[in-house]
Amino acid sequence: MKTKILNLFALTAVFSLLGCGTEVNPVVDPSSSSDADYSSESPSSSSSFTEVVVSSSSEVASSSSLVPSSSSVVVSSSVVPSSSSIAESSSIAPSSSVAVSSSSSLPIPGTPGADLVYGGQTYKTVIMGTQTWMAENLNFSTATGSWCYGELATNCTTYGRLYNYATALTVCPSGWHLPDTTAWHTLEATVGGSATAGTKLKANSALWRTNTGTDNFGFSALPGGYYTYLGSNFYNIGGFGYWWTATPRGSFIYYRFMEFDGAYVADLYDMSQATGLSVRCLKD
């Protein structure tokens, strides 16, 4: 019995020793020192926190660095120059003014054109709006179908030759043609209408019986008279000018007529094709 008690006491001592060991351990407990270590590592965590702050602030920086980019966007959107420059380019009335200049770029009616050399003779030309006319009556000699007034060569030199209709259709040089009645209407409109076109287109010359021509445009119409196949006679030199058109009316032909004391240009259509009249060629 005593032995059992002693054994029990020994066990109790062992247990108490073990209990003390566990109580001493908390004082030097590594877990608490590791806690101290962890708290002492707080600088490291705070430094890592600082790094986080830095990196997040760098994010702010980078996001704030978007402001220039957005502000640069504002600049490019404020590239109002581009739109205003578009306005300028759209207001570049040059383009529209080119259209204007294209219509206003036509030479002033009466502007001299390039000389025309044909059949050994040099002819003056004149620009009349969209048209270019010979500024002299044609004097191109043909084997048949043309005459000098009164059979005098000097009259051909001064007034040009007289041609029948068939010859007149083919006698103009290459690149030129016998004008139709519409072309004559255009000419008359260019100088202000047929009622006063005679005065403006006639040569200011004593070759007219009465000199009423002002020759405003250098067209220099002269009174070459005409040839009639009836009796092979010539009439009206110095008083009247007659010019073929290329426009037929039945068996007759339209022609233009100016007289010494008239202001008008007459549009007539009863001329026989065998008659000899003056020719003015028009550029193609």
Span 226-239, pLDDT tens digits: 999 998 999 999 99
Domain boundary among 81, 103, 125: 103
Please state the pTM of the whole predicted model.
0.64
Phi, psi (degrees; rounded to nearest 5) at 184: -65, -40
Burial 205-226 (b: 16+ CB within 10 A, else e): eebbeeeebebbbbbbbbbbbb
Name the domain count of the chain.
2
Whether 265 and 171 share a structural domain: yes
Among candidate residues 155, 165, 164, 175, the one with its CA nearest the CA of residue 224: 155
pLDDT tens per residue, range 17-39:
334 343 333 333 333 333 333 33
**Last-in-domain residue among 73, 103, 133:** 103
Shared-domain flag, residues 277 and 136: yes
**pLDDT single digits (tens) 206-215:** 999 999 999 9
Which region holds residue 62: left if phi is over 0, alpha if psi is between -120 and 50, else beta? alpha
Same-domain pairing of 198 and 231: yes
Query: Do 135 and 271 belong to one domain?
Result: yes
| Tens digit of each residue's pLDDT (9 = 90 or more) over 252-274 | 999 999 999 999 999 999 999 99
Last residue of a domain, one of 41, 72, 103: 103
105 pLDDT band, cuts 50/70/90, is confident
- CA–chain centroid gap for 280, Å, is 34
Q: What is the DSSP string of 197-213?
A: HHHHHB-SSTTSSS---
Q: Which domain holds residue 77?
A: 2-103
Same domain, 62 and 203: no
42 and 131 both lie in a single domain: no
57 and 76 together in one domain: yes
**Residue 58 and residue 122 in one domain:** no
pLDDT of residue 221: 98
| Pairing mode, strands 233-235 and 240-249 | unpaired
Report the alpha-carbon distance of residue 29 to residue 27 in Å, rounded: 5
Do the beta carbons of residue 141 and residue 221 sit within 8 Å? no
47 and 151 part of one domain: no
Query: Do 157 and 59 share a structural domain?
Result: no
